[in-house]
Amino acid sequence: MTTTLAAPRLTGHDRCDRCGAQAYVKVVLNAGGELQFCAHHARQHGDKLRDIAAEFIDETDRLAV
Ligand SMILES: [Zn+2]
């Protein structure tokens, strides 16, 4: 088995900025700084976040395993 995925950048220690649940999405802002969200809040704010994000790391896939 080959894995081409980059190592996950979020761990169980990363928490959602909104509710404190485990974070699965990390957003690096164009303006600088980072935000972390759980799957729920990432979905809720996703469209807006993508507009202002320099980098959008979505690891919500890991929830489906
Ligand atoms: Zn949350």
Instruction: Judge whether 14 lies within some domain.
Output: no
Note the pLDDT tens digit of each residue in 37-56: 999 999 999 999 999 999 99
Instruction: In whole angstroms, give the CA distance from residue 26 to residue 49.
Output: 10
Ligand 1 centroid to residue 3 C-alpha, Å: 29
42 lies in some domain: yes
pLDDT digit string, tens, across residues 10-32: 888 999 999 999 999 999 999 99
Q: Is residue 28 part of a domain?
A: yes
In the chain, the DSSP E strands lie at: 25-29, 34-37, 53-58
Is residue 15, in this structure, part of any structural domain at all?
A: no
How far, in Å, is the centroid of ligand 1 from the Cα of 58?
14
Residue 39 lies in a domain: yes
Please indicate, yes or no, if residue 13 is contained in any of the structural domains. Answer: no
Lateral strand order in the sheet of 34-37: 34-37, 25-29, 53-58
Structural domain range at position 53 = 20-65
Quote the number of domains for the chain: 1
Q: Calculate how far, in angstroms, residue 5's C-alpha sits from the geometric centre of ligand 1.
A: 25
- Rounded mean pLDDT of the chain? 88
Rounded to two decimals, the pTM is 0.80
Instruction: Indicate whether 7 belongs to any domain.
Output: no
CA 50 – ligand 1 centroid, Å: 17
